[in-house]
Structure 1
Amino acid sequence: MTRTEEFEQLRPLLFSIAYRILGSVSEAEDAVQETWLRYELSTTRPASAKAFLSAVVTRISIDVLRSARLRREEYVGPWFPEPLLTDPYEDPEHSAELADTLSMASLLLLERLSPLERAVFVLREVFAFGFPDIASAVGRSETACRQLAVRARRHMDAGRPRFEADRKEREKLAERFFDALREGNIDGLRELLAGDVSLVGDGGGKAPQWASGFFGADHVSEVLATLLPPFIQIGGVVERHQVNGQPGAIFRDPDGKVLNTWTLDILDGRIQTIRTVSNPDKLGHVGPVADAWAVLRETQQVRRDVD
């Protein structure tokens, strides 16, 4: 097998490692590309391409994450990971676990870890790497890596998000939610929401922002029932889609351009959290991005005409 073929075979794994460390599609793709350049320029052939390339992409991702953290501290409003529609890495025996580690809630929890803890957790708990390979990847001793893994696992277990165990039930509830949303059915929405549900968005100061969010079933259902019918009326589209391994949707303007993505956290037969990403800088990989301000003006005009 040629070096190029080896790399392409491992590319899905490398991207999945980088994305879980960085929470950014664009930065993960850049990390993978940089990994290829280093591999191509390497004068020696490693005994294990998987171990070597995983180590390289991990080191690059740790460096990128350290600089990204400074930018995120200055971010306008809530910061969410870039939405990922499909994880290129597949492992049929661990598909459910892999999907849950992609969720917005899990990735936000990973933000609490140090870059080293995050990398060790991802390699060990998500991809089951052995400690010798992890030690090589992060440049620490095996003993230190074991300690990092214990600390990371403790932090994650303390706040680990829980989801509806039955994925089919989760999808059925999401389907009912989006049907009620399109209809502006406030009662139908309210019965699907947890009493303390939260609706929060990441606009990054570059798209219409919902203040600090909306909270509580009554308030959230009223807001949703008010906002969505005008959006549908102007030709907006709500396209059901898995986003970060969870039930969600892509919202598109009348021209089919991406307005935002939504993800739903579902537990105990109710929607606990609705997270939206509308920052245009985080949507380019999903498709051509809409002018969110223009869509807002159109929907507001429809509401004024009705009133």
Structure 2
Amino acid sequence: MERAETFEGLRPLLFSIAYRILGSVGEAEDAVQEAWLRFERSQAEPRSPKAYLSAVVTRIAIDVLRSARVRREEYVGAWLPEPVLEDPYADPERAAELADSLSTAALLLLERLSPLERAVFVLREVFGFEFGEVAAAVGRSEAACRQLAARARRHMAEGRARYAADDAARGELAERFVEAFRAGDVQSLAALLASDARLVADSGGKAPQWRPSFTGARQVTAVLAELAALFDAARCTVECRRLNGQPGAIFHDRDGRVVNTWSLDILDGQIQTIRTVSNPDKLRHLGPVADAQAVFEDAARERRSAAAAQDG
């Protein structure tokens, strides 16, 4: 019973470590569960359950990531991390590191690192583990881990986006953007997009989409206008939500099931990137998932009926 209580107290931390290494809610939850099974079976009593379990879940996540990379190379279209509504682990002393590392943009930067670099960066730079603990977790010397951390920091710094400091302003802009989408206000949508704005879509080949990405305000505005009309015809709803610590939105069908999510990168008062996830396998942890194909077919029928009524 005491081990179970200890483990449950550490579960938020273990999930947060695994999720940042893997970018997958399901895989992170599986890694945490496997860590519990190993902890439960272990005969020895670790001096520090936190260090022991963090090391176990890290090793499991590294092994999973190595096999997952093969699957991601074969993935249909753009691959994006699974969106999360909140980070279950909170540490006021490392709030900035935790928030920054949870963003979709940061998780995509982590994808560029090797599994070992990624694990070392997460443990050291995000969660503040000592190098001795990091070395024990990944099975490398402290000197090697220092080199891995330096290399990882360099790669992350090279690609890191510069987010505006005013989080409230970004949230307000996201609300205006979503409201313009609800209203089908194309001019307002266009005005809020950066000239080189991008829309990146992850369907995994399991939901309708035109193509994985669009670049430039004109292209993105055209796609958004078409989507707004389709969602309106299908009577979908959209709500502003924070996803991965950043402004975003969740779309639901008329029965309240999740259709897709948006994560918004905002800089200098403009939308820089919209990342949308519609792969149903990546949305199940958010609630019941809609059949996106059925939603779009329903929208097409509604539009045909409306057009026929006008012609009649």
- Shorter-chain TM band: over 0.9
TM-score (norm 1): 0.97
Output the CA distance in 1 between the equivalents of 2:96 and 2:168: 12
The Cα shift of 1:305 comes to 4.2
Q: Secondary structure at the match of 1:161?
A: coil
Match of 1:173 in 2: 173
Match of 1:69 in 2: 69
Residues 198-207 or 84-93, more deviating: 84-93
Q: Is 1:15 aligned to residue 35 of structure 2? A: no
The Cα shift of 1:5 comes to 1.2
The Cα shift of 1:58 comes to 0.2
Match of 1:263 in 2: 263
Match of 2:202 in 1: 202
Q: Secondary structure at the match of 2:298?
A: helix
Output the CA distance in 2 between the equivalents of 1:96 and 1:186: 35
Q: Is 1:223 aligned to residue 217 of structure 2? A: no
List per-residue Cα deviations over 1:212-231 (Å, max 9, x = no partner): 32221122123212321341
8 A Cα contact 1:85 1:242, kept in partner: yes
- The letter for the 2-side match of 1:64 is V
Gaps of 5+ in 1: none
Residues 212-221 or 152-161, more deviating: 212-221
Output the CA distance in 1 between the equivalents of 2:274 and 2:305: 29
| Structural mapping, 1:17-166, within 5 Å | 17-166=17-166
8 A Cα contact 1:17 1:58, kept in partner: yes
The Cα shift of 1:85 comes to 1.0
The Cα shift of 1:104 comes to 1.1
Output the CA distance in 2 between the equivalents of 1:255 and 1:127: 40
Superposition CA RMSD, Å: 1.3
8 A Cα contact 1:201 1:209, kept in partner: yes
Output the CA distance in 2 between the equivalents of 1:201 and 1:83: 13
The Cα shift of 1:50 comes to 0.6
Output the CA distance in 2 between the equivalents of 1:104 and 1:196: 19
Match of 1:253 in 2: 253
8 A Cα contact 1:201 1:210, kept in partner: no
Q: Is 1:275 aligned to residue 275 of structure 2? A: yes
List per-residue Cα deviations over 1:78-121 (Å, max 9, x = no partner): 00011111110012233343122111111111011000000000
List per-residue Cα deviations over 1:12-44 (Å, max 9, x = no partner): 000000000000000000000000000011111
Residues 230-239 or 130-139, more deviating: 230-239
Output the CA distance in 2 between the equivalents of 1:205 and 1:235: 24
List per-residue Cα deviations over 1:21-79 (Å, max 9, x = no partner): 00000000000000000001111111111100000000000000000000000000000
Output the CA distance in 1 between the equivalents of 2:15 and 2:173: 31
Output the CA distance in 2 between the equivalents of 1:208 and 1:234: 14
- The letter for the 2-side match of 1:247 is P
Output the CA distance in 2 between the equivalents of 1:214 and 1:151: 31
Match of 2:294 in 1: 294
- The letter for the 1-side match of 2:58 is T
Output the CA distance in 1 between the equivalents of 2:16 and 2:300: 40
TM-score (norm 2): 0.95
Q: Secondary structure at the match of 2:284?
A: coil
Residues 268-277 or 91-100, more deviating: 91-100
Match of 2:310 in 1: none
Sequence identity, in percent? 67
Output the CA distance in 2 between the equivalents of 1:94 and 1:210: 40
- The letter for the 2-side match of 1:56 is V
Output the CA distance in 2 between the equivalents of 1:300 and 1:41: 55
